Chain A
Amino acid sequence: MQKIMGSHLTLDHFRLASFSLPSSLLHWSKPPPSRTWTVVMTYQQDYLSPCLYPLSALSDIISTVEFNHTGELLATGDKGGRVVIFQREQESKNQVHRRGEYNVYSTFQSHEPEFDYLKSLEIEEKINKIRWLPQQNAAYFLLSTNDKTVKLWKVSERDKRPEGYNLKDEEGRLRDPATITTLRVPVLRPMDLMVEATPRRVFANAHTYHINSISVNSDYETYMSADDLRINLWNFEITNQSFNIVDIKPANMEELTEVITAAEFHPHHCNTFVYSSSKGTIRLCDMRASALCDRHTKFFEEPEDPSNRSFFSEIISSISDVKFSHSGRCIMTRDYLTVKVWDLNMENRPVETYQVHDYLRSKLCSLYENDCIFDKFECVWNGSDSVIMTGSYNNFFRMFDRNTKRDVTLEASRENSKPRAILKPRKVCVGGKRRKDEISVDSLDFSKKILHTAWHPSENIIAVAATNNLYIFQDKVN
């Protein structure tokens, strides 16, 4: 078995931002009225100069971000098939302001590029999703997947090592066998903490199409993986077989009208899962009813507003992400322009709809031409399900408070992300007159997009991936 060593010492491709800033910088901006967010730290996946080596820079683009169940660890995956795990700094009394800092804990190569010789297809190493398993012993476990293969990784610590050989001395020189008069049993001695990542299981050869989602079941023994047309159910212990639970592939591929875009298990009910489609609908299935869940139990769909119909209607209604709330009572979906919250008991329309960047509605044509319209934005809940967050362009990301109905646009950028800095809300101006501090729609940078974000399961700490940068923000420390 291949073993990849990593530790908090290997920072070869991460540069930590400097943290030695005077504390006077902490509150340089006037406190905004609602919740304010401060920069905790930023990381750049900074292999070599991006200008010289565009390819290696491409492999640094972060493709998924995920906190574990306690929020103590944060995992990122990138296009180069690497997984980087950050660990939260232990809180210490004399350094209160360092609360919420994350340091690199382990990095390892999860997937390698492959070539499918039977189909003449290149299989990218890009990590599409990472999901943590509930903790079962002192080690941590996570699932990572590229387009075809899901892997189960164990990340564990080791702080002792055995010492003392019979046939060689401490320096490794061989001893003369004739001099051995007594037997030595090795003794364990403390050593520097070492973190190692070991591949425990490889779940391969079950997907014909590209895997877009993985989700761990609340029964702790199964998970599912979804590709464009099928969803498979796996047992963590069994790698050579999986059960197909959903198959929407038509007998004739020319009749194909929709694809699966995302899928997730209910957080508490082990028998329930949802999957979203490119037609903007969500299906909820009950695995108790039948072994094959081709027939859904619930079908969530909002009737289309005929006045808004256009050439792009279908494209922008495609759902890019679906997430159950922590309570399990709601689901949230993200389409190109909005985030919607659905009550599980109401199938005909969402209970809440939030506009993420409605100002782009007039620019759909150019977004279609530069392919941006197909970007897959993800969305997340905060720990108490009261706030939702999702990304946009120009390194902007949006938060919506479901109770107060306030929303805010923030920007993740290296220029204004000095540690402890407070994020200033951003505004995009739609009309002709541009006020100070506002940005016009035409000057938005569509190459800077925030697709992947994560929210700490219990605290107000968020992780935002903007191309090859990872930003961690937390609400203001008082």
Chain B
Amino acid sequence: MAGVAGPATGSGAAGGDGDDSLYPIAVLIDELRNEDVQLRLNSIKKLSTIALALGVERTRTELLPFLTDTIYDEDEVLLALAEQLGNFTGLVGGPDFAHCLLPPLESLATVEETVVRDKAVESLRQISQEHTPVALEAHFVPLVKRLASGDWFTSRTSACGLFSVCYPRASIAVKGEIRQYFRSLCSDDTPMVRRAAASKLGEFAKVLELDSVKSEIVPLFTNLASDEQDSVRLLAVEACVSIAQLLSQDDIEALVMPTLRQAAEDKSWRVRYMVADKFSELQKAVGPKITLNDLIPAFQNLLKDCEAEVRAAAAHKVKELCENLPMEGRETMIMNQILPYIKELVSDTNQHVKSALASVIMGLSTILGKENTIEHLLPLFLAQLKDECPEVRLNIISNLDCVNEVIGIRQLSQSLLPAIVELAEDAKWRVRLAIIEYMPLLAGQLGVEFFDEKLNSLCMAWLVDHVYAIREAATNNLMKLVQKFGTEWAQNTIVPKVLVMANDPNYLHRMTTLFCINALSEACGQEITTKQMLPIVLKMAGDQVANVRFNVAKSLQKIGPILDTDALQEEVKPVLQKLGQDEDMDVKYFAQEAISAVAQRLRKLDFPVKDSEEPSAPGADKNHFLRPRGPGEDTGKGPAYQLHVNTRDTLPQLDTAEIVLFLPKHRLISRI
């Protein structure tokens, strides 16, 4: 019982003459029925602890019957219960008693919430493996039959997922029955059940004997694929993949292809969409010969389908399809049979189709080689870079590396620049954000000269964007650029511009300087940080806006590890101490934080400790700012605060930058 953590309630934990170990369990059992969902959830998650304390006998006779009837609870509790029961075999006395777990899971398999039902089925499948063949037929198979012939369709849908686990281990006679039950579910009255059966058809086919697959599964498959409801038919496409994998080429041609051809031309666009979406899987399952004869023409039709959704799904698959074609004759095949259709899609009327194509089209260049790329693909790329829809342009830009490998980026740079500039100034901030994220990649591809000349000004402009997320991303971007181009470049091009912003009349821009310094200091190294950045930070300690001042404290804490002792002792410490006396409580708080960090740092410089001995808690400093503090805690420098002083993790700093903007308000609310 050592691992049992005492729950939060309970006044004085088990301090008495009673059995010490019982108290926490008693609390857990009582909290199974607590009004607070969270406590019930906690208890359910520790169900194994309860069962362990009760022993196998009482778990079987008392706990499980109780759980069987607790299906009134919230979904998340039921979900946790269904999950727990899947690992419960040991707690009810081992495989011999695994069947005791069936009743609660059976009732969970009939609830209306799909996630709970699915989890119950998953656990049932797990438990079925622990049944002996005898127990399987005595307990598990009857359960499957009960569910399969249940009054409500929820139980019948759950049954569909259980056939494939009990079939392989059942006797011949029972196997026949199981197949019979599955057949009847495939023609159930309710579409819900037929859908469940259709989605499990492939899985069931895999465990069947090949003869039964041909004689029983194929007719079921054909029926489902011509169901009156298109929501059922489209699931048959998925089954098609699994079934085709089991059959020989001739059988595929005779038994599966007629249905697949029909599906590719179905009246309902959703079915055709499914064919397009599963195209790579289908291609692999039916093999190269049928692909060439049947699938390629079908794919051409999907690429010019009247429904945009279908065209988009097909366009997404273009690269994979081409990759998976047999090497021999691949190039001619693509050039003659696929490329003409792609050319049309570049000027499609629907932007989703175009952007789907743009996300994969660059991948074709490696398949087609340099000459074809220059002659045939390049015009398409250039056209897409000028597309009116920003998503199309972004998708092209994000995949530049594929082309770079094949033809070099210079071919594109003339068209690239206007496209980038336009995206960088897009009215939608999400578009701007997306292009910023590609900047380091672009910089790497285009080289430092081109970058300085054309793109540097954009990167600086983002720093004063009116959307915080953009400014934050721009800060991050600078750090990555410095990592790429080196400190000298940083010193000459980036740092001066960043530091000028420290005098900006807008306090948000002044804070951006601080955030940039936080991000850049490590990449720039001690010299630049001490000589150029530190003076600016220290100067800003006298800012009139409190938000700037406490960010100064935080920046000083952040760059502390990079500075040497002299700078810390003589420059940083006095400023922090002054901030520590600030009239604003938040400034005071962060100054104290920084002071303790700097003190720690100074101690360490005097008495170096081995790195491995340092206590570190990465991520621990992420949240403590949001924690409401009591007034006495302000000067608290307990061990908890020193834990995170030495972490080298840079990410949390960026998180806190975001939090800080809203911090004063949070405080206010928490205090009221």
Contact = CB atoms under 8 A, between A and B. Distances in A.
A245 to B, nearest CB: 12
Nearest to B228: A269
B114 interface: yes
A96 interface: no
Contacts of B17: 178
Contact of B191 (A154, A179, A183, A220): A220
A137 B71 CA distance: 12
B18 A179 contact: yes
A136 B153 contact: yes
Contact of B18 (A141, A160, A178, A221): A178
Interface stretch (A80-88, A161-169, A254-262, A423-431): A161-169
A218 B114 CA distance: 18
Interface string B294-314: 000000000000111100000
A180 B26 contact: yes
A171 B655 CA distance: 51
Given A158-B72, A288-B230, A290-B269, A183 B66 contact: no
B154 A136 contact: yes
Contacts of A177: 10, 12, 14-16, 18, 23, 26
A91 interface: no
Contacts of A287: 268
Interface stretch (A185-193, A393-401, A402-410): A185-193
Contacts of B26: 166-167, 177, 180, 183-184
Given A177-B23, A219-B231, A165 B30 contact: yes
Contacts, number: 121
B111 interface: yes
Contact of B190 (A158, A200, A220): A220
B30 A270 contact: no
B230 A136 contact: no
A269 to B, nearest CB: 7
Interface string B215-232: 000000000000011110
B450 to A, nearest CB: 41
A134 interface: yes
B54 interface: yes
A218 to B, nearest CB: 7
A221 B231 contact: yes
Contact of A180 (B15, B22, B33, B195): B22
B63 interface: yes
A166 B306 contact: no
A416 interface: no
**By CB atoms of chain A within 10 A, which of B29, B63, B228 has the most?**
B29
Contacts of A134: 190
Contacts of A16: none
A182 B18 CA distance: 10
Interface residues of B, number: 53
B268 A288 contact: yes
A131 B39 CA distance: 35
Interface string B179-215: 0000000000011100100000000000000000000
A327 B233 CA distance: 23
A180 B27 CA distance: 11
A236 to B, nearest CB: 9
A160 B69 contact: yes
A289 interface: yes
Interface string A456-475: 00000000000000000000
Contacts of B191: 218-221, 270
Contact of A167 (B30, B66, B69): B30
A177 B267 CA distance: 70
B154 A137 contact: yes
A139 interface: yes
B32 A186 contact: yes
Contacts of A186: 29, 32-33, 66
B229 A288 contact: no
A170 interface: no
Contacts of B30: 165-168
A137 B231 contact: no
Contact of B112 (A154, A178, A269): A154
Nearest to B150: A137
Given A166-B26, A187-B66, A188-B69, A181 B19 contact: yes
Contacts of B12: 177
Interface string B366-406: 00000000000000000000000000000000000000000
A1 interface: yes
B521 interface: no
Contact of A288 (B23, B29, B54, B269): B269
- Most chain-B Cβ atoms within 10 A of its Cβ — which of A137, A200, A218, A291? A137
A137 B33 contact: no
A10 interface: no
Nearest to B54: A183
Contacts of B54: 183, 185
A21 interface: no
A160 B32 CA distance: 16
Contact of A178 (B16, B58, B190): B16
Nearest to B190: A220
B28 to A, nearest CB: 9
A185 B62 CA distance: 6
Interface string B589-618: 000000000000000000000000000000
Nearest to B61: A185
A166 B27 contact: yes
Nearest to A182: B22
Given A270-B191, A270-B229, A291-B269, A135 B306 contact: no
Interface in B415-439: none
A12 interface: no
Contacts of A160: 69
Nearest to A269: B228
A270 B231 contact: yes
Contacts of B41: none
A180 B15 CA distance: 12
Contacts of B308: 291
B17 to A, nearest CB: 5
Contact of B58 (A165, A185, A291): A185
B112 A136 contact: yes
A270 B23 contact: no
A138 interface: yes
Given A162-B66, A184-B29, A288-B269, A137 B18 contact: no
B25 interface: yes
A183 B112 CA distance: 33
Given A188-B66, A220-B192, A183 B152 contact: no
A138 B152 contact: yes
A176 interface: yes
A135 B152 contact: yes
Contact of A271 (B25, B53, B230, B307): B230
A320 to B, nearest CB: 31
Contacts of B58: 183, 185
A141 B154 CA distance: 13
Contact of B33 (A135, A154, A158, A162): A162
A172 to B, nearest CB: 12
A4 to B, nearest CB: 15
A137 B155 contact: yes
Contacts of A281: none
Given A166-B30, A187-B62, 4 more contacts: A160-B69, A162-B70, A184-B26, A291-B308
Interface of B: 10, 12, 14-19, 22-23, 25-27, 29-30, 32-33, 53-54, 58, 62-63, 65-66, 69-70, 72, 74, 110-112, 114, 152-155, 190-192, 195, 228-231, 266-270, 306-309
12 contacts: A166-B30, A167-B30, A177-B14, A178-B17, A179-B18, A181-B18, A183-B58, A186-B29, A187-B66, A200-B112, A271-B230, A290-B306
Interface of A: 1, 134-139, 141, 154, 156, 158, 160, 162, 165-168, 176-188, 200, 218-221, 237, 268-271, 287-291
Q: For the complex of A and B, list the 3 residue pairs with the smallest distance between their C-beta atoms, beginning with the closest.
A: A178-B16, A288-B268, A166-B26
